[in-house]
Amino acid sequence: MTIPTVGPGSIRIEQDGFDRFLLLHGVRVAKRGRAGTRRTKKWVPIVPWVASVIEDTHNSVIIRYARDRVGTA
């Protein structure tokens, strides 16, 4: 099984006020949990087709897609 990867610049972090978002191809897919909450320093998916986002290393993340929750556009 091959794990798909994306090229440089496809994933980035965007700051909006106090909130930080993880963007995949320019689409916000996760929000960083705020301090003082149970999701502090964790990425919280904000789109239905992403099940989880795990920070693998300082420079990489693993995005797990939610196959059974994907809708049609």
Task: Give the tens place of pLDDT for each residue, 45-68.
Answer: 999 989 999 887 777 888 888 876
For residue 2, tell me if it sits in a domain: no
Are the C-beta atoms of residues 32 and 43 closer than 8 Å to each other? yes
The answer to whether position 33 is within a domain reads yes
- State the pTM of this model: 0.77
Coil, helix or strand for 58? coil
Residues spanned by the domain of 30:
11-69
Cα pseudo-dihedral 15, 43, 24, 4, rounded to 10: 150
In a domain, 61, yes or no: yes
Domain count, the chain: 1
Q: Does some domain include residue 3?
A: no
Q: Is residue 1 part of a domain?
A: no
Q: How confident is the model at residue 30 (pLDDT cuts 50, 70, 90)?
A: very high
